[in-house]
Amino acid sequence: MKTYLDIADNDYLFFCDIDETKPHNFNNYCATAQSICEKYLKHLVNEYCRPENDGEEKLRQDALRTHSIRKLYTYIKRAIPSCSMDFTSILKSDGYYFSARYPGDNYFDTTEEDVENCKNAVKSCKVEVEKFIMRINS
């Protein structure tokens, strides 16, 4: 069975291929970046968060259903107090999943600066999650 980590790693390879072609569709690039960061973070939630009661399990399930990096960050910080990941860059990938993909009041077009922030966020997220996994498994 595939894990969030397996899928995130596969999406990361795709993302690297897109990056090498110098993307022209900034919105999809940024939405893809956010999706990859989500999967890396959801792997931590799925594998390392062990709720002790039904209320905590509901919070865990909510975290696994969200498309918000900020909500995942908040949940991970609360549920895994030993997590010392640097989320500074990762948080910059939040907000693209819906707003850069679907019309509506919150729609916006992304910029080259957004692309750079998202590229850094994906790379940082991958490294930080891998470091966490190595530390917790050693």
Max intra-chain CA distance, the chain: 48
Ordered per-residue pLDDT tens for the chain, 138 residues: 899 999 999 999 999 998 887 777 899 999 999 999 999 999 999 999 999 999 999 999 999 999 999 999 999 999 998 889 999 999 999 999 999 999 999 999 999 999 999 999 999 999 999 999 999 988
The whole-number pLDDT of residue 82 equals 87
Ordered structural domains, the chain, with CATH: 4-137 (1.20.120)
Burial of 84 from C-beta contacts in 10 A (0-12 / 13-18 / 19+): exposed
- Determine the Cα–Cα distance for residues 43 and 38; give it in Å rounded to an integer: 8
Other beta carbons within 10 angstroms of residue 65's beta carbon come to 9
- Determine the Cα–Cα distance for residues 86 and 75; give it in Å rounded to an integer: 15
Contact predicate 93/118, CB 8 Å: yes
How remote is the C-alpha of 70 from its chain's centroid? 9
The whole-number pLDDT of residue 134 equals 95
- Determine the Cα–Cα distance for residues 77 and 85; give it in Å rounded to an integer: 9
- Determine the Cα–Cα distance for residues 138 and 134; give it in Å rounded to an integer: 6
Phi first, then psi, for residue 66 (nearest 5°) are -75, 160
